[in-house]
Amino acid sequence: MITSQEILPVGTFRKTHGKQGELCLTAEAFPESLRPQFVVVTLDGINVPFVVQSFRQHGADYLLCLEDIDSEERARMLQGKPVAVLRRELPADYEEQLPVSGLIGFSVMNEKQQRLGTITDVDDQTANVLIRLDNDLVLPLHDDLIEEVSIEQRYLVMTIPEGLVAMDN
């Protein structure tokens, strides 16, 4: 059985593509160099691996053909489902390739290990990248403020400028 610790969420099967069962993957955190042998979809609470028969980029998305998904009808069963990859398939330099949008869902803590919230949105449309947490706190995402990142455990430790966040000690 594949556990949640063994996989990394990368996106969602947004729609079917064509009549042969091809699926369109909208990926938030997909390393460019990764060509997965498997993708994992959670069905009825079980992480189910699917063998990837073909994989190609299609604009900002990816088109995948999966083993045993050979019709539009079968592909529709996976439409809207979150997609993950096996961590063991990630390239060694994955952390350097992680786009800032891949931080959505990460917990954020300050340097005193106090939890600040979970990242719900990343605004990278300006020179100063901002992250929004689930409590509506907005923080600048700058290399000088990042102390630690754990891709495995999905958290980020930041040095928060004094006065930006009121924390009870």
Domains and CATH numbers, the chain: 4-90 (2.40.30.60), 100-158 (2.30.30.240)
pTM of the full structure: 0.62
| Number of residues assigned to the chain | 169
What pLDDT score does 30 carry? Answer: 67
Q: What is the dihedral of CA 13, 41, 86, 122, to 10 degrees?
A: 50
Please give the mean pLDDT across all residues of the chain. 86
CA atoms within 13 A on the CB side of 144: 3
What pLDDT score does 32 carry? Answer: 65
143: left (phi over 0), alpha (psi -120 to 50) or beta: alpha
* Tens-place pLDDT, residues 129-156: 899 999 999 999 888 899 988 877 788 9
Extract the tokens encoding 3.
């556990």
Give the contacts of 33 (CB within 8 A, at least 6 positions apart): 91, 93, 97
Nearest to 98 by CA among 32, 7, 25: 32
Confidence of residue 128 (pLDDT cuts 50, 70, 90): confident
What are the CA-CA distances from residue 92 to residues 33, 95, 134, 150 (Å)?
A: 10, 8, 30, 14
Residue 66 has pLDDT above 70, yes or no: yes
Inter-residue contact 31 to 45 (CB < 8 Å): no
* Tens-place pLDDT, residues 96-119: 666 677 788 889 999 999 999 999
Residue 87, SS3 per DSSP:
helix
